Amino acid sequence: MMLTNHLLSLLLLLAPTSPCQAFSVTSIIQQNNPRLSSRTLSSSTLLSSSSSSTADEEISSILRPSYEIEPIPFRIGHGFDIHRMAPIEEAGQPVVIGGVVIDHDDQKWTDKEGKYTGIPNSIYSTQLGVIAHSDGDVIFHSIVDAIFGALTLPDIGQVFQDTDPRWRGCDSGKFMEHAYDVMTYYGYKIGNVDVTLILERPKVAGFKPRMKENIVRLLHTTEGRVNIKARTHEKVDSVGELRSLSCHVVVTLEKTSTESS
């Protein structure tokens, strides 16, 4: 039996609190760097002080490369993400894009293996969800990856590994807050963000203003610096069959100050 939007809302309300709500972002940079203890990155949090020092040291070393991140005036980064979509009873969580839960009518999902219909490559009408370790937000993940890339830092998968139980079901807005902290630590601000979301269904035009509002808020920027485009995949491959969705993001960063000494 298909889940109605009402039941989906109940599912979200009953979902357990993610462990990602407890982690000190400041400790990520400051661990093993006592001289930076007086620098405040921001008030946002990603994991509690109860986090193990081993984990903090691991992340700190990733975000503190041995080479200099040169204070050039302008940087460009590109991010990409893709996640599988499946019936929500299989995915276990809804479609979340740009921090917005995408409410939708039942969609015509291609049952490639015949798991639900008994006939391979047949159409199965269902509510969709995203299969991911965290909440599977392709826009937020792509933006974080683009910011890290612009700063010549490792990709989001190395910083927040999908084998780490701390990030299971995590609200990807926390990753965005962390990326902002890292960006400002190195003395940069958002120049602009250009998002290209690619999915066949459900339609997202009505959700784009809220997605943009979330990006502006989390990156402490303005509406005139954030753009969101969405397109289908012309019914081609897994995206066209509603079995996945993907996103490309390009960001520019502007230098605001010299790096902390």
pLDDT on residue 192: 98
| Under 8 Å between Cβ of 162 and 117 | no
Q: Which residues of the chain have pLDDT under 50?
A: 1-19, 21-59, 259-261
Given a contact cutoff of 8 angstroms between Cβ atoms, the answer to whether 77 and 250 are in contact is: yes
- The secondary structure of the chain, three-state, reads CCCCHHHHHHHHHHCCCCHHHCECHHHHHHCCCHHHCCCCCCCCCCECCCCCHHHHHHHHHHHCCCCCCCCCCEEEEEEEEEEEEEEHHHHCCECEECCEECCCCCEEEEECCCCCCCCCCEEEEECEEEECCCCCCHHHHHHHHHHHHHCCCCCHHHHCCCCCHHHCCCCCHHHHHHHHHHHHHCCEEEEEEEEEEECCCCCCHHHHHHHHHHHHHHCCCCHHHEEEEEECCCCCHHHHCCCEEEEEEEEEEEECCCCCC
- Please tell me the number of Cα atoms within 13 Å of 238 on its side-chain side: 10
Q: Are strands 122-126 and 100-101 parallel, antiparallel or unpaired?
A: unpaired
- Global confidence as pTM: 0.77
Confidence (pLDDT) at 164: 65
Structure tokens at 257: 């100050």
**pLDDT value for 219:** 97
What is the token pair recorded at 13?
């309300």
- Predicted confidence at residue 195, as pLDDT, reads 98
- pLDDT at position 35 is 35
CB 173 within 8 A of CB 99: yes
Tell me how far apart the alpha carbons of residues 133 and 242 are, in angstroms, rounded to a whole number.
19
